[in-house]
Structure 1
Amino acid sequence: MASTQDTAQTPFKFRPPDNKGVTEINDESKKLFCASFQVPALRVPAAATNAFLKAGGEYLLNLPRCRSAVEDTAHHQSGDVAKGQHRIVLLRKDFPSDPSLIPTRLRDLISQHAAALVEHTLTLDYSYWTPEDILRSILPAGLQPPGSFETAGHIAHLNLRDEYLPYKSLIGKVILDKNKQLRTVVNKLDSIDTEFRFFKLEILAGDDDTVAEVRESNSRFLLDIRRVYWNSRLQFEHERLVRLFHHGCVVCDVFAGVGPFAVPAAVNASWGPAAPGVETNPSAPPPSRLVLANDLNPVAHEYLARNVALNGVEGQVVPYNLDGREFVRRSLGELGSERVQNGIKEAVKRSKRRAREREQALAARKRKRDTDDDSDAKGRREKSGTSQVSSDADTETVDIARYRWPHHYVMNLPATAVEFLDSFDGIYRPYISLLAPDVRSRVEDPEHYDPPESAEGMPFPMPMIHVHCFSRSEDPEVDAIQLVEKHLRCQLPPGSVTAHRVRDVAPRKEMICVSFVLPVSVAFRHNKDEKKT
Structure 2
Amino acid sequence: MSNLLRPPTVRHTIGVLDRTLFAKTVNLAAVAITDKRKIAQWRQSLHKDNTLLGAERLANVVPHPDQTLASQGARCLLLHPKVRPTVPDTWTPLLRDGVEKQELGVVPYDLSLDYTYWSYDDVMQCLLPSDVRDEHDGFPSGFNQAGHVAHLNLRDQFLPYKKLIAQVLIDKNPGVRTVINKVTMVGTESEFRTFEYEVLAGDDDLNVEVRESECIFQFDYSKVYWNSKLEGEHRRLVHLFKPGEVVCDVMAGIGPFAVPAGKRGVFMWANDYNPESYRSLSSNIKRNKVTEYVQAFNEDGRTFIRNAADLVYAASTTGKYAVAKKKPVSRRRQHEDGGKATEERIPVPPTISHFVMNLPASAITFLPHYRGLYAGHEGLFEPHTGTKLPMVHVHCFAAKAGGEAPLLDICERITAELGFPIKLGDPEVPGEAAVLEIREVAPKKRMFCASFRLPAEVAFAPRE
TM-score by length of 1: 0.76
Structure 1 residues 380-416: Cα deviation after superposition (integer angstroms, max 9, x where no partner): x87x553xx55xx3xx7x463x521111100111110
Contact 1:464 1:517 in 2 (8 A): yes
SS of the equivalent of 1:469 reads strand
From 441, 444, 449, the counterpart of 1:508: 444
Contact 1:335 1:341 in 2 (8 A): no
Q: Say yes or no: does 1:137 pair with 2:126.
A: yes
Match of 2:72 in 1: 84
Match of 2:43 in 1: 53
Moved more, 462-471 or 29-38: 29-38
Contact 2:82 2:90 in 1 (8 A): no
Contact 1:172 1:204 in 2 (8 A): yes
Match of 2:302 in 1: 325
In structure 1, how many angstroms separate the alpha carbons of the residues matched to 2:281 and 2:289? Answer: 12
Paired residue total: 444
Match of 1:420 in 2: 366
Contact 1:17 1:34 in 2 (8 A): no
Considering fraction of residues, name the structure with more helix.
1
One-letter code aligned to 2:446: E
Unaligned runs of 5+ in 1: 1-5, 270-287, 368-377, 437-453, 529-533
Residues 119-518 of structure 1 correspond to what in structure 2 (within 5 A)?
119-142=108-131, 143=133, 144-192=138-186, 193-267=189-263, 269=264, 288-337=265-314, 345=321, 348-349=322-323, 351=324, 353=325, 355-356=326-327, 359=328, 363=331, 386=340, 389=341, 393=343, 398=345, 400=347, 402-429=348-375, 431-432=376-377, 435=379, 455-457=382-384, 461-472=388-399, 473-474=401-402, 475=404, 476-492=406-422, 495=426, 496=429, 497-518=433-454
% identical aligned pairs: 34
Moved more, 50-59 or 412-421: 50-59
SS of the equivalent of 2:224 reads coil
Structure 1 residues 51-97: Cα deviation after superposition (integer angstroms, max 9, x where no partner): 43222212212222222132223x336xxx68437433221212277
Q: How far apart are 1:477 and its partner, in Å?
A: 2.1
In structure 2, how many angstroms separate the alpha carbons of the residues matched to 1:481 and 1:302? Answer: 35
Contact 2:251 2:359 in 1 (8 A): yes
Q: Taking structure 1 as reference, are residues 330 and 76 closer, same or farther at Cα in structure 2, changes over 3 Å only? A: closer
Contact 1:336 1:404 in 2 (8 A): yes
In structure 1, how many angstroms separate the alpha carbons of the residues matched to 2:297 and 2:235? Answer: 22
Q: How far apart are 1:220 and its partner, in Å?
A: 1.4
Q: How far apart are 1:195 and its partner, in Å?
A: 1.5
SS of the equivalent of 2:296 reads strand
Contact 1:291 1:316 in 2 (8 A): yes
Q: Taking structure 1 as reference, are residues 196 and 22 closer, same or farther at Cα in structure 2, changes over 3 Å only? A: closer
One-letter code aligned to 1:60: L
Match of 1:283 in 2: none
In structure 2, how many angstroms separate the alpha carbons of the residues matched to 1:82 and 1:413? Answer: 62
Structure 1 residues 413-447: Cα deviation after superposition (integer angstroms, max 9, x where no partner): 11100000011112222x35x649xxxxxxxxxxx
SS of the equivalent of 1:21 reads coil
Contact 1:499 1:513 in 2 (8 A): yes
Contact 1:46 1:85 in 2 (8 A): no
Match of 1:282 in 2: none
In structure 1, how many angstroms separate the alpha carbons of the residues matched to 2:195 and 2:162? Answer: 18
Considering fraction of residues, name the structure with more strand.
2
In structure 2, how many angstroms separate the alpha carbons of the residues matched to 1:82 and 1:158? Answer: 46
In structure 2, how many angstroms separate the alpha carbons of the residues matched to 1:114 and 1:195? Answer: 73
Match of 1:94 in 2: 82
In structure 2, how many angstroms separate the alpha carbons of the residues matched to 1:156 and 1:300? Answer: 20
In structure 1, how many angstroms separate the alpha carbons of the residues matched to 2:224 and 2:58? Answer: 42
Contact 2:391 2:453 in 1 (8 A): yes
Match of 1:444 in 2: none
In structure 2, how many angstroms separate the alpha carbons of the residues matched to 1:132 and 1:399? Answer: 53
In structure 2, how many angstroms separate the alpha carbons of the residues matched to 1:519 and 1:403? Answer: 20
In structure 1, how many angstroms separate the alpha carbons of the residues matched to 2:185 and 2:45? Answer: 59
In structure 1, how many angstroms separate the alpha carbons of the residues matched to 2:56 and 2:247? Answer: 48
Residues 26-45 of structure 1 correspond to what in structure 2 (within 5 A)?
29-45=18-34
Unaligned runs of 5+ in 2: none
Contact 1:295 1:320 in 2 (8 A): yes
Structure 1 residues 496-517: Cα deviation after superposition (integer angstroms, max 9, x where no partner): 3211111122223221111111
In structure 1, how many angstroms separate the alpha carbons of the residues matched to 2:89 and 2:170? Answer: 49
For the aligned residues, what is the CA RMSD? 3.0
Moved more, 129-138 or 295-304: 129-138
Q: Say yes or no: does 1:111 pair with 2:100.
A: yes
Q: How far apart are 1:462 and its partner, in Å?
A: 1.4
Structure 1 residues 182-208: Cα deviation after superposition (integer angstroms, max 9, x where no partner): 222222222433321223322221122
Q: Taking structure 1 as reference, are residues 102 and 522 closer, same or farther at Cα in structure 2, changes over 3 Å only? A: same
In structure 2, how many angstroms separate the alpha carbons of the residues matched to 1:41 and 1:259? Answer: 56
Contact 1:42 1:117 in 2 (8 A): yes
